[in-house]
Structure formats: structure tokens, C-alpha cells
Chain A
Amino acid sequence: MAEYSALALLKNALTGNRDWKPAWRKPEPKPEYDVVVVGGGGHGLATAYYLAREHGITNVAVVEKGWLGSGNVGRNTTIVRSNYMLPANVRFYEHSMKLWENLSHELNYNVMFSQRGILNLAHTPSQADDFIRRGNAMLHDGADAVWLTPAEIAKKVPGLDVSAKARFPIVGGLLQPRAGTARHDAVAWGYARGADRLGVDILENCEVTGFLREGERVTGVATARGEIRAKKVAIAVAGSTGRVMKLAGIDRLPIESHVLQAFVSESLKPVIDTVVTFGAGHLYVSQSDKGGLVFGGDIDGYNSYAQRGNLPVVEEVMSEMASLFPGLAPVRLLRSWGGIMDMSMDGSPIITTGPLPGMFLNSGWCYGGFKATPASGWCFAWTIAKDAPHPLNAAFTLDRFHRGAVIDEKGQGATPRLH
């Protein structure tokens, strides 16, 4: 029987909830593992889960410097979509979408995946053409997309200013109906529990402070809880990639760390039942199941590890919110926070063997890595198990920059703050 079921709920309710097992154990580190995954965020945990589940590699540890979910997986705006245009990206993110669609069932853990759709608003005829082209590319690669007229948008999102007097009038919008949101913490906890039950050791408060080396080869990690040897060391530390890779002697990478802020308002009755993005600036908004409006905008735009942002972006995001939804202008903001993202030079991720023997790297998620969590873990596990990428992540190597094979979805060139 599944650990979490209606019957188990009822039984535990009657017995005072005393018999639930902890979602994951708190084991002591073993001296050696087949694979050590550095970083207990969504991607690291998903990687460990798929290593065990898809490849039978269960002698695995996930080492996390803080507590599970203390990184970006617990501080994002929870948007899941596959509305990309370049083939390598659509296929990868659509694979992720398919994994999302079955994730709660597979993990026996309710990740609250809600396919409420995402609507990208277009404000000029040329932007409309561009979005329709993107929609066609998505359809070609097996994703879903629908073009909506302003009248259809007004019906779908009441409260949105679709009038001609709006500062940036809305000429239409691209809807991906299967996109949506998921409960971010639950994704980390669900993968953690799944991995734990398959034998993976999850080691919290276990910061990696150095790498064990034999010549060029990486043979383990030095941690706050002692040295741990490993046949393979896999790194999935998101915004900390620069710092962690320096510990291995790699001091330059095609990555910059930047801060992204997000905001949540006081709780409201249901007002927005989809995800809306404002194409004339940069704003995305949805309403959480608790009623708060969750929204964010652009990164602050300069290198940062500060995990907090500055006020100009707050002002910009708020003014965009008020111009899109004039009726929501009086709503009060409850909290804001920042997370550090590993912005890559072309805006696309890196899931690769190397750069040193014995090492594997998962990075470059920019501000779209939450949606990638399942496919990222799935592809990274494959890459680690087989010492070679799966066709779905074969384009996301580290050497693509130097081969001239960049995947530049936005066409911005090698300027991370613009992706």
C-alpha cells in the first residue's frame, strides 16, 4: 500500500498521528559512496531519486550545506511551462512537463501540480507574430499552445486591463494550457522521500568545503562532517556553482551569479486562476492556493551573491502589476525575498560530464530552473550513470560555448543579465 493514502490518513487520524515515519532518515555519512551529489535542492534530490529508480544506483549520498529546500527550490515563483522555441529547449522542457504530469502519482506525494495555464501577453503586432511563431514551434515539437484574442483574454482573466487606453494595450496572448504551478517545497520533500526510501542517504548540514583529488581525478569531497569518498561526484548547487567549482580549482566558467527577487501579497479571494506574464516589461503573476498573489520580474541586473535585492526592481515590478491590474493596486505586499541564480552565457542550462574526470556538472538554470527539476534530475542521472549525456541533454554540454553551438533562446548573446 502507498505510504500516503486515504486509508493511511484515516488510520493515523484515529491513532493520533503517532505512526507516520519521518519523510527521510538522518543517517551518518558513510566513508564512501558510488555517487555523491552535492546540493540538496530540487535538482540534486531529483538526480539521486532517478539514479536509484532508473539506474539501480542506490549507494548514493546527497550532501546539503543547510537544510533541504533552503535554496532556490524553496524560493521560486513555482511556474512550470514548456513554452520555449529552440528545438533542444522545447524537447527538454516538454519531457519535464510529461514527468510533472505524473509526478504526484509516481512519488506518492502531492506536489500540488496545477495545470492552470500560462498566458503570455503581446502588446504589439510584431510581438504577436513572434509569439505565434513560438506557438507553432511548440506544436511542432509536441508541446501545446493556443492563440487568444483580447476578447478571449478578457473572459479568461477578468481584472486585466484590456482596454485601448492601457499604457501597453493588449493585442493578444499565447496560452499554454498544460503549463501551471506546483508546490515548490513539496517537490523537494517528495523527491527526498522517494530517494530515501530507495536507499539514498540525505546528509543535511554537510557543506562541501573541498574536493578530494588523485591527480586530475576527483575522488570525493571534504565536508563539514568529514571526508567522503566517491566514485563519481555530481554538482547541482545552482547559484553557488561559481563558489563550489572554485574549490575544485575551476576558477572561470560561462556563468555569473545574479539575484532575482519575488513578492507575495496578502491573501485574497480567488482573482487570478492562471499564470499571466506581461510582455511589455517583465512581470509574471499567479495566485497561490493560500490566496496570496505571487509575482516577480527581472533580475536586478548585476553580479550578486547577496540573496537580497535592491529597491528599483521592487518599484518596477509593482508599477507593472498596477498597470496590468488597476483594480489590484490597493493590495498590500506581504513579503519579498531574493535568490541567487546561476545565469549562463546563453541563457540555457549545462548538464554535462566533467569538467574534471570523476566530476559531473548541473548548472546554468538562470531563472527558469524550477520547471526543469524533473527532467534535469532525470537527464543528469542518465549522464552520471552512463558517463555520457542522453539525447535530451546532449546539446547542454559545457563545451558548447567554445564550439560555437550556443542555445540562445532570447538572442541576447553572451550577456547573462539580459537572458
Chain B
Amino acid sequence: MLIPCPYCGPRDVSEFTYQGDANRPRPDPLSTDRQAWDGYVYDRLNTAGDHREYWQHSGGCRAHLVVVRSTLTHAIVSAGFARDEAAAKPKKTRRKAGAKP
């Protein structure tokens, strides 16, 4: 399996570290919604087909990637920097220092 790192180009899977499912919405760190945290930690879609997942090019440029890969065929559909996706997301309102939780 070759993963096309957007920085380094196609590299062998053994250069990468799998970091799991990228479909899990991480609750707001301040949230005490137990169900949301339970779901984030334990529940998975376990997709058969195109799967959004995190990989780190740990044996290369060390960038964190979002890869879409078919879990049925191992075919890679796309690979991009995780930071680009994070930047595209609307910013969560941050708690100001000293503000009440």
C-alpha cells in the first residue's frame, strides 16, 4: 500500500503511523456531556467502504494527514494535510482566561 503524502509524494505504508478513525467528532473540551464523551471514546462507524482516517508520516515529513481509503480494497481515494481541514473548520469559541467554566 502506498500513501501519497502531499509533501513527500507516494511512500510505503510502513513509513506511516495509523491514528484511527477521523469520523469521530471530539466534544468541546469543556463539555461534561457524558454521552458525547462516551461516543467519542468508544463508538465507531466501522465503515465498509471509503473511510476517513488520520495517518502521520512519522518516518518522513512527520505531517499529520487525513486520508480517505477504501477499507474493502485498500485503495487510497485522497490524502491531505490534517491542518488544512482544521483551518477550514469554524473556530470554536474559546474560554477566556479567568472566565467561569
Contacts and interface: CB of A to CB of B under 8 A. Distances in A.
Contact of B71 (A255, A257, A301, A310): A257
A304 B71 contact: yes
Interface stretch (A62-70, A168-176, A246-254): A246-254
Given A306-B74, A312-B13, A253 B38 contact: no
B47 interface: yes
Contacts of A304: 71, 74
Main secondary structure of the interface of A (DSSP, over half): mixed
A121 B46 CA distance: 34
A241 B1 CA distance: 25
Interface string B43-64: 1111110010100000000000
B6 interface: no
Interface of B: 1, 12-14, 18, 20-21, 38-39, 41-48, 51, 53, 69, 71-74
B71 A303 contact: yes
B60 to A, nearest CB: 15
Interface of A: 241-243, 251-257, 301-306, 310, 312, 345, 401-402, 414-415, 417
B1 A303 contact: no
Nearest to B35: A402
Contact of B72 (A241, A306, A345, A417): A306
A402 B18 contact: no
15 contacts: A242-B48, A252-B46, A253-B43, A255-B46, A256-B21, A302-B53, A303-B47, A304-B71, A305-B72, A310-B1, A310-B13, A312-B12, A345-B42, A414-B42, A417-B18
B88 to A, nearest CB: 24
A286 to B, nearest CB: 27
Contacts of A302: 18, 53, 69
Contact of B43 (A241, A252, A310, A415): A252
A305 B71 contact: yes
Given A255-B44, A303-B51, A415 B71 contact: no
Contacts of A303: 21, 46-47, 51, 53, 71
